[in-house]
Amino acid sequence: MEFIENLRCPITKNELILIGSEEFEKLSIPAEFKSFGELTHGLIDNSNQYFYPILNDIIILHEQFAIYTGINTDGRHSLSFDKKRVFDYYNEVNYIVKDSFKIYADSGNWVDYREVSSHYMKNSFSKASRFYPSKGKYLLDIASGPIGFPEYIALSDGYEYRICVDISINALVEAKANLENAGQKGIFICADIMNIPFRDNVCDVVLCQHTLYHIPKKEQKTAVNEMYRVAKNNSKIVIIYCWFYNSWMMNLSLNFVQIYRVVRHYAGKLYVRFFNTSPKLYFFAHSSKWFKKSFIFSKDIEFYSWRSTNKFFMDIFIHDWLGGKWILNKIGRFEDKHSKFMSTFGEYAAIVITKKV
């Protein structure tokens, strides 16, 4: 199978070996797994401690799904409270069909699907490709989700393989279907952004969209370092990031709405710790200054505008009767002309890291 030689065990960091069902008898694999008709292959680390199933061409390399086959103590750790929130949320979220593609059912909370904003939104969806080469072999889409927009699918045009990594098996099933419908080749791996099960220096591009700010505050640095580690020398890492309360454009334009959002955000953090509710999505936004001082490669980080507005701004100000298309056209042009300024003044930035030799 393509790319397996570039994988490693996320727990032991050892080499992984592809095995077929005829070798399962040698391992302590639970009987219910052997009865799955789809389970004909799997990966075992070379110390024979952890088995990772491959189901319907999706490689399950998240340590929470590993099957311990060793004889000593299982070395895995349980998920932290906030990591479990994100893990449970994305493994329970529903999907809907839009324009023949499966997307997250809650995407309407963050994406303005109205015709008045359609061109502006679609332009932002395709913007990440401006910041990395147009051709290559492996484009790693870390925390890919279902890849439910045509503009998102087009981000890997020119690449031989799009490696979709996500903590949700369901999301990878939908991503596989969406890419196959678009005629693109994909490699699908269930894994953790903070412990990417790849060898060093294997990806031509690393793309991470709208995920890093859902990683616990103190662990976002680990996630960025992991993306940097698996990228090839002289390659690009592109992270689409939300500044939230660090965006002065949104603070000034939304005013009391923004204050309400911030208060609700912090109240929600307390609420989920005291009440047993359905999974809620964790969120924390660092400032641009944090990125410029937190890494040994900080000098190689640049910021560009991805989109300066959010859904709340568009719900309030963007309407046909207010000249909404004209307003967004002007904002889009200003973002392109003053991309570096708008990258930190507006809501969303493309954080571009060049991995130098």
Per-residue tokens: 26: 């040698």
On the 0-12 / 13-18 / 19+ scale of CB atoms within 10 A, 347 is buried
Tally Cβ neighbours within 10 Å of residue 135. 10
Confidence at residue 31, expressed as pLDDT on a 0 to 100 scale: 60
Please report the pLDDT score of residue 278 as a whole number. 66
3-state secondary structure 201-255: CCEEEEEEECCHHHCCHHHHHHHHHHHHHHEEEEEEEEEEEECHHHCHHHHHHHC
**What are the pLDDT digits (tens) for 227-283?**
999 999 999 999 999 999 999 999 999 999 888 888 887 777 776 777 666 667 788
Give the global pTM.
0.93
Q: What is the pLDDT of residues 40-68, one digit of tens each?
A: 889 999 988 999 999 889 999 999 889 88
Average pLDDT across the chain, whole number: 90
pLDDT tens by residue, the chain, 357 residues: 678 999 999 999 999 999 887 787 777 666 656 555 567 889 999 988 999 999 889 999 999 889 888 888 887 888 887 888 788 888 888 887 777 677 787 888 889 999 999 999 999 999 999 999 999 999 999 999 999 999 999 999 999 999 999 999 999 999 999 999 999 999 999 999 999 999 999 999 999 999 999 999 999 999 999 999 999 999 999 999 999 999 999 999 999 988 888 888 777 777 677 766 666 778 899 999 999 999 999 999 999 999 999 999 999 999 999 999 999 999 999 999 999 999 999 999 999 999 997
Instruction: Check residue 34 and give its pLDDT.
Output: 55
Task: Give the total residue count for the chain.
Answer: 357
Q: Rounded to 5 degrees, what are φ and ψ at 4? A: -60, -35
Query: Residue ranges of the alpha helices (H) in the chain?
Result: 31-34, 81-92, 118-125, 150-153, 169-181, 220-230, 248-254, 256-274, 288-293, 311-317, 324-337, 339-345
Structure confidence at residue 266 (pLDDT): 78
